[in-house]
């Protein structure tokens, strides 16, 4: 199957399309924050965990593993003692992170509008 053919078939609306899983890795809470953090540079695990406030060790490990498997994150393990493992974005990860950041910055900018809508909604229900 050629790339072009696969490209045409990808449809996130379809339950069976693997693009749904990849979309979730990128747009899950921790996926978004990990990718955004990695646009700032290469991180060791614990430093990344401090940057992504609130993430558990287990969730960050799972998130990075899924992003590495999808080809967004590069994991570099150096054979030294103590072990040194560094995470960075691949070129595909950089491109993807740029789209994610565009969405996040937009929503951060619209937060006052969102909070006002929430107040109106709650007042109408209340």
Measured from the CB of residue 12, what is the shortest distance to its own copies in angstroms? 5
The binder of its own copies chosen from 3, 78, 80, 81 (CB under 8 A): 3
DSSP state of 82: S
Nearest of 28, 7, 36, 25 to residue 94 by alpha carbon: 36
Measured from the CB of residue 102, what is the shortest distance to its own copies in angstroms? 6
- Which of residues 81 and 109 has its CB atom nearest to its own copies in the complex? 109
Contact map string, positions 41 to 80, toward its own copies, x by CB under 8 A: ----------xxxx-------------xxxx---------
The whole-angstrom separation of Cα 48 and Cα 105 is 20
The binder of its own copies chosen from 36, 39, 62, 88 (CB under 8 A): 36
Using CB under 8 A as the binding rule, whether residue 81 contacts its own copies is answered as no
H helical segments located in 1-126: 3-9, 19-27, 29-38, 45-51, 57-69, 91-109, 111-125
């Amino acid at each position: 199957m050629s790339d072009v053919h696969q490209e045409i078939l990808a449809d996130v609306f379809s339950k069976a399309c693997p693009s749904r899983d990849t979309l979730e890795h990128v747009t899950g809470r921790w996926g978004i924050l990990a990718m955004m953090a990695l646009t700032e540079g290469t991180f060791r695990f614990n430093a990344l965990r401090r940057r992504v406030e609130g993430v558990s060790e287990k969730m960050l490990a799972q998130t990075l593993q899924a992003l590495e498997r999808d080809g967004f994150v590069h994991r570099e393990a150096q054979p030294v003692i103590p072990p040194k493992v560094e995470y960075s974005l691949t070129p595909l990860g950089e491109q993807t992170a740029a789209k994610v950041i565009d969405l996040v910055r937009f929503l951060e900018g619209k937060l006052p509008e969102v909070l006002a809508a929430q107040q109106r909604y709650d007042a109408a229900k209340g």
